[in-house]
Structure 1
Amino acid sequence: MVFLPLFIISTRVFGQIWTVFYKTTSVCALNGSTVNMSCSYTYPQQYKLTDTFWMLGVEIKSLKEYPKYKDRVEYIEDRQKQTAVLRLHNITNNDERVYFFRLVTDTVGQKWIGQPGIQLKVSALQVKAPQLVLEKERVNLTCESTCSLTDAFIWYKNGQALKIQNKTLQLQSERSDSGRYSCAVRGHEDLPSPAVSVNVMYPPLNTSVSISPSEIVEGDSVTLICSSDSNPPALNFSWFKENQSSAVGSGQSFIISSFNSSHSGRYYCEAQNQHGSQRSASVSVSVKGDWDILYIIAVCVTSAIIVGCGLLFLIIIIVHKRTKKSNNDSKDTEQKKTSAGKASESRDAENASAQDDRDTDTKKPEAEEIAYASITFHHPANEAKSAASQDMDVSVIYSGIR
């Protein structure tokens, strides 16, 4: 609402004062809302006040006498405090008038109309938005009215309240921002502005190709369909076959009426609108037989690779085990040679000792039995001696005895 300086209109009649005091001379309210217009007054006390009412400037009669006002008007008055309020419901643009307060007494000619009255202005909210919104472009939506209103605004998108409470709504123009926007004044949520559409424009996205039928037999009619997500929808479509320099077709659908092996290959499409274009991924198109052969070849090659890898792995394991066993055998042989050498040295030492003993026995015949027994039981573990060594030892012993 707009509040202007206070006005007091008064006059002196026969030494007494008539006064009508309007709190404001201009009121702005939303279309469809309820508005209050108020004043206070004084009059000469020697007269008796018989009637008060609100009127238009056209003719002197109460608003309640007008058909278009009678069901929408309330007079709220306190004669002791000498205040009056005009309450007007469901206002429209046709209610934009000047309203006056009138006092009537029981004395002829003693009546009064308060000047200058109150000017009512009816405001309609509207959303101001650009007609063209491009993706990623910052855009401001403004809630406007024909007169100054409170700064507490509410914004709606598709009928759902948003958290923004400013007069201006700022968008980053994502695709999800498309929708219908309206605004309202806090406290008058039931009187929103007309909704306006915001369409975020963007180039084709998610372009793809579908094939019908999915399994192709030679001679079939094959249809390729290009699909994309864009705003506005893409209208220009071009078709390409890999390894060919120029387009092979146009339109959202590309039809090959009688498909044969010469048509086999990889195809892709390009969708375009006024904001850009996008190419789809390539798709393979061929007759079912060709695919069967390729499938068999692929399976055979894959199987051969798997079997070859398995055999190679097995060979590696076998070679590793054999190498490990050979190394172990070499170590065992070396250990045996070392043990045999040590045993041979031990035997030589024992033989030398035995020879010394035999020499001693030759000098001392009385010790024959003891030497023999000693030689027989001193080495019970010499079963590993060679036959030649044993014969030599026996012959030596017996020669000593004789």
Structure 2
Amino acid sequence: MACPENMLFLIGLFMSGVLVCFGERDLITTMPDRLDVLTGSCVQIPCSFDISHQNKYTFNSTILTSGVWIKGNPYFGGRPDRVIFNSSEMVNRYQGKITGNMSQKNCTTVFFNVTTSYSDKYYFRIESQPFRATDTEKSVNIVVSDLPSSPILTVLGEVKEGTPVSLNCSAVAPCPEHPPELTWTLPTQFTTENQLQENPDQTKSVLSTVTFTPSYLHHEKNITCTAVYPVGTSNKTAEHNMMLNVSFSPKDTSASISPDDPVSVGSCVNLTCSSTANPPVTNFTWFKISEGKTTQVASGQSYTLNVTVDGGQYYCEGRNTHGCEKSNEVQLVIKGQEDSKTSGVGFWFLVSGVAAGTLGAILLISLISLFVWRRNSRLHDGLERTDSPQGQNSPVGTVCTNQATAGEEPEEPADDQPEEIHYGDIDFSKLQTKETPDAAQDRVQGQESEYAEVNVTGSRAQVPHLNYLDGLYAQVN
């Protein structure tokens, strides 16, 4: 009788041999687990195979090898109808072809005009002399539907205001001969790049990359990627919507005061700060402006204060991880002080008016002084021309006369003072005098004299040949 230790060893060796025998596959295929297909389109099954180590000597790649697809169950001995395609046959249940090179162990296959009845699991088998085998452990699940599956949207990095960002949209291409076309709908300008790419499981998909620079105005706006699949003479579409989550610093920061009317000393007012930001504002700070100085007075979105004798201006500042923004300024007005402010405004208007009036008066005085100066200059020039020697032409309308008032006796000059001559202007056209015979004779001869120099302080005997001025002399004096 064998000892128990030997029995256990024999049992273990036997079980190991069984496991090795049943665990190793003769044919090892590689294909996707699932394929989503559109009704009326085609489907490409990426496929490759390998031969187990113990059967390599029986497989000859130089010999023509047939590829067989079995539907539903790999065991078709009693169900030959499960064989839907055999590359060695001219007529098959499914219209298709093996596009891969079987001698290089590539079993990629395309089926055309797919219908909903194609939805099932499929196994692959190879037949060559002398090797034949089916991979019963691996299958591909084909799912046929009337509508395409939605594309997949992914964001590359953080969507931050002012920083360019890229979005990817990927749509499966089960029929690479007719891949889908991808289009974008964005609330801003963008650039796109499309390409057909191979996935890790060897399936195909179309990848579209869009690049744009987001703004805070794009936050919570929808973007759409649409896939358009050509199927026969029509198109089938699928889309994916996504809401943008844009990070940005505080915007539209504003401060409000309640009540906003003038308030009494000792009452309470409430200041409120509001701001839009993503992420939300984490810190609100209040500042007061008084007499030209800015002072931080409180923190928090709301600020309640007891009114003192002084008012002032207040503003808030909102801050998050991306920055900060200052609000508008609100005025706290104390009852009774608004009149003083109005008076102050009136005072400044009064000061401005006085200044303007003073400036106007100075300008007017300057103009008058200029006018008087120019007039005196003309008068001085006239007097100088009047004092010219006899025989020279005298200015029209200029005459020497006494400046004493009519009816008053002229003062006698002092003996020790030189005799003073006074000049004046007389318009003889306004004097109604009687023309003397001598004057008439002079007028006839063209020697009419309209002006004369008269020494009003001397006697008439000192003015010869002017007897016709006797009447005028009386009027002058």
Instruction: Establish whether TM, by shorter chain, passes 0.5.
Output: yes
SS in 1 for 2:238: coil
For each residue in 1:115-161, what CA deviation from the matched residue of structure 2 results, as whole angstroms up to 9, or x when unmatched?
9xx96766752011146322122211111246676373212348x99
Q: TM-score, normalised by structure 2?
A: 0.51
- Residue type of the alignment partner of 1:184: T
Q: Check conservation: 1:228, 1:234, Cα contact below 8 A.
A: yes
Q: Where do 1:237-256 residues align within 5 Å?
A: 237-242=284-289, 247-256=296-305
- Residue type of the alignment partner of 1:278: E
**1:217: Cα distance to partner?**
1.8
Given candidates 327, 330, 334, the residue that maps to 2:376 is: 330
Q: Where do 1:216-227 residues align within 5 Å?
A: 216-218=262-264, 219-227=266-274
**Unpaired stretches in structure 2, ≥5 consecutive residues:** 1-30, 45-69, 83-92, 96-110, 125-134, 144-148, 195-207, 395-437, 468-477
CA distance in structure 1 between the aligned counterparts of 2:140 and 2:253, rounded to whole angstroms = 60
Q: TM-score, normalised by structure 1?
A: 0.59
Does residue 143 of the first structure (1) align with residue 169 of the second (2)?
yes
SS in 2 for 1:344: coil
For each residue in 1:49-101, what CA deviation from the matched residue of structure 2 results, as whole angstroms up to 9, or x when unmatched?
xxxxx9544675989xxxxxxxxxxx998xxxxxx95432599xxx473389x
Q: Check conservation: 1:127, 1:193, Cα contact below 8 A.
A: no
- Residue type of the alignment partner of 1:156: T
Identity %: 20
Change in 2 beyond 3 A, CA 1:390/1:57: farther
**1:31: Cα distance to partner?**
6.2
Does residue 97 of the first structure (1) align with residue 121 of the second (2)?
yes
CA distance in structure 2 between the aligned counterparts of 1:322 and 1:182, rounded to whole angstroms = 82
Partner residue in 2 for 1:185: 227
**Unpaired stretches in structure 1, ≥5 consecutive residues:** 1-24, 39-53, 64-74, 78-83, 101-114, 349-370, 396-402
Given candidates 172, 186, 195, the residue that maps to 2:213 is: 172
CA distance in structure 1 between the aligned counterparts of 2:112 and 2:448, rounded to whole angstroms = 142
Does residue 155 of the first structure (1) align with residue 152 of the second (2)?
no
- Residue type of the alignment partner of 1:314: G
CA distance in structure 2 between the aligned counterparts of 1:177 and 1:134, rounded to whole angstroms = 10
Does residue 87 of the first structure (1) align with residue 133 of the second (2)?
no
Given candidates 443, 452, 468, the residue that maps to 1:384 is: 452
Q: Check conservation: 1:155, 1:165, Cα contact below 8 A.
A: no
Does residue 208 of the first structure (1) align with residue 254 of the second (2)?
yes
SS in 2 for 1:288: coil
Given candidates 306, 311, 329, the residue that maps to 2:357 is: 311
Q: Check conservation: 1:131, 1:198, Cα contact below 8 A.
A: no
For each residue in 1:165-193, what CA deviation from the matched residue of structure 2 results, as whole angstroms up to 9, or x when unmatched?
63101121222343333323333675434
Going by fraction, where is helix more abundant, 1 or 2? 1
Does residue 233 of the first structure (1) align with residue 280 of the second (2)?
yes
RMSD: 4.8
For each residue in 1:191-239, what CA deviation from the matched residue of structure 2 results, as whole angstroms up to 9, or x when unmatched?
4343233211011123221111111321443111112221122132122
Change in 2 beyond 3 A, CA 1:222/1:207: same
